[in-house]
Structure 1
Amino acid sequence: MEAVFDYIIVGAGSAGCVLANRLSEDGRHSVCLLEAGPADHNPWIHLPIGYGKTMFHKTLNWGYYTDPDPGMLDRRIYWPRGRVLGGSSSINGLIYVRGQRQDYDHWAAQGNPGWGWDDCLPYFRKLEHNDLGPGPTRGTDGPLWASSIKARHELVEAFIEAARTHGLPRVQDFNTGEQEGVGYYQLTTRHGLRCSSAVAYLKPARRRPNLTVMTGTQASRVLFDGKRACGVQAGRPGALRTLRARREVLLAAGALQSPQLLQLSGIGPEALLKEHGIKIVHASPGVGENLQDHLQIRLMYEVTKPITTNDDLRTLAGKARLGLQWLFSRSGPLAIGINQGALFCKVMPEVVRPDIQFHFATLSADMAGGTVHPFPGCTYSVCQLRPASRGHVRIRSTDPFEAPSMQPYYLSADLDRRTAVAAVRYARRLASTDPLAPLMKREVRPGADAQSDDEILHFCREYGATIFHPSGTAKMGPDNDTMAVVDSRLRVRGVSGLRVVDCSIMPTLVSGNTNVPIIMVAEKVSDMIREDARQTA
């Protein structure tokens, strides 16, 4: 038997949980939310420091790898993505950042009316519960919490003061549209626990009779009646079923799997579809192209004093102390996660707004989420906010359960190479500035041997990694942009009844972490979908 719903949402991540909540809240429409992974019952999801436990989890994480990247010494880069209710918002680093005003004004200027900063700000305010209190750009009544880090850490304070020496102001709120400065991040936590989109949006909606949530159910393709999306095929290998949509199918599977689904369903580059024998529903050359990501370069230092999270995590007594601190006061490293110190600055002479973001962590490990080093350590993670390099996502076969080809082409643009070198040099200047310098015992990586531009660039190629923000593979754009996959209402061009609502639609990456921006996008598009439904009722 076929199940029929008004709306089918593919992917219960940052955007999908928002859509499920908003489209079901008035009780008028039936909504089905599909998630390939399980429910979010694993306790490591909800404990902020559990980020390290979910980074390589075989069930909760897709555990993707890119193709060998020529810009990264032909390395295959590990790309973790959430495979659980809440998606990547259930396994990410919890950073609460919107981006810069100019990011959204640029979207609008590219021919996407309604997506400027002033258009998006009401939705940013609507979604958030900010513990800084009300303000012109802040919200306090939304479901997603923005919690400040209350405790002050000696190492982070030294980092902040060193940056102030270099002319950066201390900032309390990085989400006003203007970012330049240094301070502590706000986090998507509530009372010491992770506030994922599943917690913030899906949990309050689960008892609604018009909302059906299917876990362990992966969409394999979108079904069409002519040019109209009418449902999806979904399930597990060997056990697929048909789900029908009266109104719309909404792809919220992320910037890797939404374009994969479009291509498998006959929407994509004509040559690619013909290569795999897929019937073309609509030739759309931009599907899977325009892939952008933030490349993080992680400098690690040994610290002169045993004041880091490394020290706490290396002994049973330290772990017990952290556990008791969290248990009795919902505070300490277990309630914060990995990164505390935030810095947005300009490193290239030609830029007029911050082009680099720091995630400063009071721990160090060979890779994000890995085992901490056996010495007091800290990490200066730097990333270029608006990379010029572009890659792609393309199906390898017609098997929906095979991961697509992912090629980011990191550092393929000259601007990105020059910015990476400048960012490393800036991080080193900070590390050698009082009051931070006396706390830095030695530079573990890249180390003293990397001094010339070529040597620093080689370090970036050898150790650079994703900071988990792939975007842009089904970009939003105007009619005259042949590479635009969706319009300004996120409707897939060339067909009807189908939208994409995830980081795929970003024409250009936002200047910062992507979780909060895509929740805003889902809030905004939910209103568009409901408005369209009223007009066609």
Structure 2
Amino acid sequence: MQTFDFVIIGAGSAGCCLANRLSIDKTKSVCLIEAGPNDNDIRIKIPIGLVSLMKHPRFNWLYTSTPQTQLKHQSIPIPRGKTLGGSSSINSMVYIRGRPSDYDRWSELGCTGWDWQAVLPYFKRSEQNMRLGSDPLHGDNGPLYVEDPPSPNFLCNVLTAAGVEIGIPSNNDFNGEIQEGLGTYQLNMHNGSRWSSADAFLKPVLKRPNLEVITNAEVKVINFNNKRAESIIIKKGNNLEKINVHSEVILCAGSIGTPTILLQSGVGPAIQLHNLEINVIHDLPGVGENLHDHPAIPIHFSAPSVGYGVTFKTMPSILFSSLEYLLKRRGLLTSNTVEAGGFARTNKNISEPDIQFHFIPARVGHQGSSIVWGRGYYSDVCLLKPTSRGRLWLEKIDGEYQPQIDPNLLADIDDKHTLTDGFKILRQLLKAKPFRRYNPLEICPGDKIKTDKDITDYILSHLGTAFHLVGTCRMGSANDHQTVVTPDLKIKGLENIRVADASIMPEIVAGNTNAPTIMIAEKASDLILDNRQ
């Protein structure tokens, strides 16, 4: 039986960062536990390999939602990383922080110390921006590389030109003073390879004698004594093992994993736990509530001569791309698929963007999960500030507790209206003059979808998400009954346990969530270490 000062559950975007920062103190022992395997697979390293990871059971939890009432009772896929680096090892590598008003809003909701001026230093501490590092809003000496795409498809420039034509400006820094506009995304990539949280934070410190990393180990329960976390039980292979905790348990298992572990451990809504015959350690109603994501709807275009794709004519260049990658770390294999996009407003009377575009210069399957025969391009539009809220709970299936995930997408009618307006802007963008020279054909949904009712029906039949689940262990003030963690990230009413991942977000940020999750871990490390002094 081992004992550690700090036990971190989940070696994802947050957990890898936290393991690095906490193990700097050589007098403190740190254990990082990951349910999945090591990340030493070439499909993780080569950016285009993410297409095969979307449905890979070894590196992906492959969750699905409950049937969605608003979506004609369809379930939607919810990929989540299950390897060192977590979802930063299977995502599209886009580096977006959100905007200052997101974090100022957190502060208004009771998250004291999480306003923009308070969190900006933590973004900068992580970041090593190869183009913008000298900018006062960016970092140039952190372990997390942020780079421009090595070989962006020329259609990214076409997208930007199309935006200018319809009144959306170009933007070369979505994390700068102004978020609005279109351009190529900056990526967590280095020398043509994915640069995950594991690459940035964990691998450089694996030889520290006070850091132990355990893979292929699923946490089954956290044990409490008088509401004080004192040990955890992990399942490794067919064996159960106990790990004792001297100082703190820090949950970094994400918006699905973290509430699932808490509920299994008897922390959550008492009624639900009683119904599951789980011993109630602490009645905490907010665990599993406040679940939300960025709902997204796509448009697919075929174009005979542009975009990545598989055709007889492109076969030679596809074969050559392997050699180009091997020799130069450039070309098709460096594509993260979502090479460009940006932010826009559906209503010029609002002050900030309410939609985001994810543009893929290729013919792809649903939500970019596969590359299909033919050439063309794809984009989705997602709703940045949904008001619909869902929840997560447990059910016992075949003797095991399983999370039931209901994001409750588009339950609020305003979400439907805004996404419908966003779809119309996306269609206008992709049919603008700069694209027309390539003779595109809209193949999904197609020109028969014209009226607002047609568009809404299409949305309800084809909706997905941006895979940005947040909120299930909401941060807030101690007197809010839905608060799970207070601004110091301690779980309300418990001792020796914190949460530091995307589940603490009271409201989703306006953009991709990987960078904000790493920021949360950076700030968490200071909160934990300052508490020890």
**TM-score, length-normalised on structure 2?**
0.97
Q: CA deviation at 1:178?
A: 2.8
| 1:229 and 2:229 are equivalent in the alignment | yes
Q: Secondary structure at the match of 2:363?
A: coil
TM superposition shift of 1:259? 0.5
Q: Distance in 2 between matches of 1:43 and 1:401?
A: 33
Residue pair 1:33, 1:213 contacting (<8 A) in 2 also: yes
CA contact (8 A) 1:10 1:251 kept: yes
Equivalent in the alignment of 2:18: 19
Report the residue type matching 1:98 in the other structure. Answer: R
Q: Which runs of 5+ in 1 are unaligned?
A: none
Alignment of 1:105-184 (within 5 A): 105-132=104-131, 133-151=133-151, 153-176=153-176, 178-184=178-184
CA contact under 8 A between 2:4 and 2:29: conserved in structure 1? yes
Secondary structure of the residue that 1:148 maps to in structure 2? coil
In structure 1, the partner of 2:276 is 276
2:418 matched to which residue of 1? 419
Distance in 1 (CA, whole Å) between partners of 2:313 and 2:491 is 51
AA paired with 2:486? D
State the match for 2:524 in structure 1: 525
What amino acid is aligned across from residue 255 of structure 2 in structure 1?
A
Q: Deviations over 1:134-178 (max 9, x none)?
A: 111010100111101254533221110110122222211111253
1:273 alignment partner AA: L
Amino acid in structure 2 at the alignment position of 1:125: K
**Partner letter of residue 174 of structure 1?**
F
Q: Equivalents in 2 of 1:497, 1:319: separation in Å?
A: 53
Q: Is the 8 A contact 1:304 1:438 kept in 2?
A: no
Tell me how far apart the structure 2 counterparts of residues 91 and 314 of structure 1 sit (CA, whole Å): 30
Give distance in 1, aligned partners of 2:16 and 2:364: 32
CA contact (8 A) 1:431 1:440 kept: no
Q: How many angstroms apart in 2 are the aligned matches of 1:304 and 1:429?
A: 20
- Tell me the number of residue pairs that the alignment of Structure 1 and Structure 2 aligns: 532
| Aligned twin of 1:457 | 456
Distance 1:441 1:202 in 2: 45
User: Displacement of 1:399 after TM fit?
Assistant: 8.1
Partner SS state of residue 339, structure 2: strand
1-side partners of 2:73 and 2:199: how far apart? 39
Hey, what does 2:72 align to over in structure 1? 73
RMSD of the alignment, in Å? 1.6
- Quote the Cα distance in structure 2 between the aligned partners of 1:187 and 1:95: 5
Deviation at 1:311, TM superposition (A): 4.2
Q: What CA deviation, in whole Å up to 9, does each residue of 1:49-68 have, x standing for no partner?
A: 00011111111111111111
Counterpart position of 1:386: 385
Q: Determine whether 1:264 maps to 2:264.
A: yes
| Shift of residue 350, structure 1, vs aligned partner | 5.1
Given that 2:376 and 2:440 are in contact with CA atoms closer than 8 Å, whether structure 1 keeps it comes out as: no
What amino acid is aligned across from residue 210 of structure 1 in structure 2? N
Residue matched to 2:185:
185
The CA deviation string for residues 157-206 of structure 1, in whole angstroms up to 9 with x for no partner, is: 11101101222222111112531011110010000001000110010111
1:333: how far off?
A: 2.4
Moved more, 84-93 or 337-346: 337-346
Q: CA deviation at 1:349?
A: 5.1
Counterpart in 1 of 2:294? 294
The residue type paired with residue 254 of structure 1 is G
In 1, Cα distance between equivalents of 2:478 and 2:152: 51
1:270 Cα deviation (Å)?
A: 1.4
Gap change, CA 1:146 and 1:232, over 3 Å in 2: same
1:495 aligns with 2:494: yes
2:146 is paired with a residue of what secondary structure? strand
1:205 maps to 205
Match of 1:442 in 2: 441
Deviation at 1:374, TM superposition (A): 2.0
2:484: which partner in 1? 485
1:511 maps to amino acid: A
Q: Which moved more, 1:445-454 or 1:187-196?
A: 445-454
The answer to whether 1:347 aligns with 2:346 is yes
Contact 1:285–1:482 under 8 Å retained in 2: yes
Query: Does structure 1 conserve the Cα–Cα contact (< 8 Å) formed by 2:147 and 2:186?
Result: yes
Unaligned runs of 5+ in 2: none
1:117, distance to aligned residue in structure 2 (A): 0.8
Question: Shift of residue 281 of structure 1?
Answer: 1.4
Q: For residues 461-495 of structure 1, what are the alpha-carbon distances to aligned partners after superposition, in whole Å with 9 as ceiling and x for unaligned?
A: 21111211110000000022110100001100010
The corresponding residue for 1:45 is 44
| Equivalent residue number for residue 88 of structure 1 | 87
Conservation of the 8 A alpha-carbon contact between 1:261 and 1:400 = no
Alignment deviations for residues 224-282 of structure 1 (CA, whole Å, 9 cap, x no partner): 01110112111147421111110000110010010011111111111101101112111
Letter in 1 for 2:270: E
Q: What amino acid maps onto 2:52 in structure 1?
A: K
SS of the equivalent of 2:434 reads: coil
- Following the alignment from structure 1 to structure 2, what is the Cα–Cα distance between the partners of residues 525 and 341? 31
Give me the identity figure in percent.
38
CA deviation string 1:377-414 (max 9, x = no partner):
10011100111111001011298954300001111111
**How big is the shift at 1:295?**
1.4
Q: 1:468 to 1:167 in 2, by over 3 A?
A: same
Distance change (3 Å), C-alpha of 1:29 and 1:22: same
Deviates more, 1:142-151 or 1:510-519: 142-151
Q: Which string of whole-angstrom CA distances, capped at 9 and with x for unpartnered residues, describes residues 102-160 of structure 1?
A: 00110011111110111111111110110113111010100111101254533221110
Q: Please, what TM-score do these two structures have when normalized by structure 1?
A: 0.96
Q: Which residue of 1 aligns with 2:3?
A: 4
Once the 2 structures are TM-superposed, how far is the Cα of residue 517 of structure 1 from its aligned partner?
Answer: 0.5
1:314 CA displacement: 8.0
Deviation of 1:366 after TM superposition, in Å, equals 2.3
3-state secondary structure, aligned to 2:17: helix
CA contact (8 A) 2:346 2:422 kept: yes
| Structure 1 CA distance for aligned equivalents of residues 153 and 403 of structure 2 | 42
Q: Is the 8 A contact 1:220 1:400 kept in 2?
A: no
Q: Counterpart amino acid of 2:235?
A: G
